[in-house]
Amino acid sequence: MNNLYGTQFNISHIEPATHIYGPGRRFAVWLQGCSLACKGCWNEQMWSFKANELLDRKNLLAQILAEQDIEGITLLGGEPLDQAENTVWLIQEIKRLSSLTVMLYTGYSKQEVEQKQLWSTIEDSVDLLVSGRYQEQHRNTNNQWYGSENQELIYPQKSSIEQRSKLQNEVEIIIEETGEVRVLGYPT
């Protein structure tokens, strides 16, 4: 499934400054729509491909580049590679125009990414890939950055993110000035 909305991303949620999806302070984007339907998925509300918030990829790029003091971006969902053309465009532009690192979550395995002929792009432009379906029976809440043991953390050769061993899972609580409270991550 690809580019249902032309050059517009279908977005579920944006957090312009989070600390738990990858190293450092990051701009995180949850994309709306996932065709993989993993049993036990925590983000079932992000499966639908119905337009949620449509945002042109150039506008999203501008928002990211305008954000101060971030180390990188993290794309998750939903399934970023179900909007592959826009996702690839965005990460290539980020690499071309900035020194931000790119972390990408996908439910597709490395082999499936290769079959989609996306591997060379990902190898070139992504610093850390979290790859593979969420498997409920292999859930482990002690892992940092991934939810089930079968998922792979892949640091491509050109990665600027330092490789880490498994660390404790983290949860982030954001309290806005308006009093709105958001919990990010997966509390046990």
Binding positions for ligand SF4, rule: CB under 6 A = 34, 36-38, 41, 43, 46, 77-79, 107, 133-134
CA neighbor of 76 nearest in space, from 146, 162, 169 = 146
- Shortest Cβ 75–ligand SF4 spacing (Å): 12
> Cβ closer to ligand SF4: 48 or 98?
48
Peptide bond into 78 cis (omega under 30): yes
- Shortest Cβ 16–ligand SF4 spacing (Å): 21
For residue 80, the tally of other CB atoms under 10 A from its CB is 26
* Cβ-proximal residue to ligand SF4, closest one: 107
> Cβ closer to ligand SF4: 53 or 158?
53
185 in helix, strand or coil?
strand
- Helices then strands (H, E): number in the chain? 4, 9
> Cβ closer to ligand SF4: 61 or 184?
184
Position 15, amino acid: E
> Which residues are CB-contacts of 120 (< 8 A; sequence separation ≥ 6)?
none
- Shortest Cβ 24–ligand SF4 spacing (Å): 23
Burial of 108 (0-12, 13-18, 19+ CB in 10 A): buried
> Cβ closer to ligand SF4: 95 or 108?
108
- Shortest Cβ 130–ligand SF4 spacing (Å): 10
- Shortest Cβ 157–ligand SF4 spacing (Å): 25
> Cβ closer to ligand SF4: 23 or 78?
78
